[in-house]
Amino acid sequence: MTTSFSKLLTDCLQALGDSDASTWSRTDVIWPWAIEAMLAFPILRPQIQTYTLLANTHEVTLTPDFREIISVEYPIAHEPPDYLTRMNRFDPSFYTTDTHYDIDRDYRNSRGWCLWTSKLLPIGAQIKINYLANHEIDLEDTTNSLITVPDEYENILVAYVVAKGYRERLGAYMQDPTAHMSIITQMTNMVEKAEAKYMELVERAQAKLTDSRMSPHMHVDKFDRAY
């Protein structure tokens, strides 16, 4: 990935015909819309995290970028690898063997996700998690701050922001008592075309995807204006 967050913001403004950010603030508006676009992007990035346990436990708190599990390896460094199998942790037989895991919300902290294992993992043990993650959103408006969405999909992020911008303008016109109906109709058509274009680009990208970077449970039913 070589596209910087700064370039993404500039490309969004140019696509909206607002290169000088006189209509939409680069920092206050386009920036959060670009973040929304990356969070809504359905092709996730595969990550691997190895945890070293600091106590005897059945529970491991997962990283904040976790979206969906791929595999859980325990014990690690075996050849061939040893993978746990998923089972609902509320199943009466969950704790009867040492070979199961489950993923559940982290209700204790009211956010994030936890990994549960049927085996009581000993202090010092290591467990490896393969998972699909959100794209990086802790970014800066600099050329050195690179987005994690592949370069080939930047146009999808731009299309998302354009659709947001057009809908925001439509909302403003509809609340303006002096706005002519012809302007509102024209803007409505622009919104519909922009959202349809975004959906087309997403569906095309999903159709061409040939590896496991996309969650099999992630799909877009419609343009999400309030992700």
Res 215: pLDDT: 52
Q: Which of 227, 176, 221 is closest to 202 using CA atoms?
A: 221
Residue environment code for 96-128, b if the CB has 16+ CB neighbours within 10 A, otherwise e: eeeebbbbeeeeeeeeebbbbbbbebeeebebb
Q: What is the mean pLDDT of residues 16-42?
A: 95
Res 1: pLDDT: 66
**Run of H or E residues at 71:** strand 66-73
Reading the block at residue 182, the tokens are 């012809």
CB 70 within 8 A of CB 212: yes
Res 11: pLDDT: 97
CB 220 within 8 A of CB 200: no
Contacts of residue 194, defined as CB under 8 A and 6 or more positions apart, other chains included, come to 159, 162, 163, 166, 167
pTM of the model: 0.77
Reading the block at residue 97, the tokens are 């063997």
Q: Which of 119, 117, 151, 147 is closest to 134 using CA atoms?
A: 147
**For 13-17, 37-41, 192-196, 206-210, which range has the lowest pLDDT when averaged over its residues?**
206-210
CB 213 within 8 A of CB 149: no
**Run of H or E residues at 70:** strand 66-73
Confidence of residue 226 (pLDDT cuts 50, 70, 90): very low
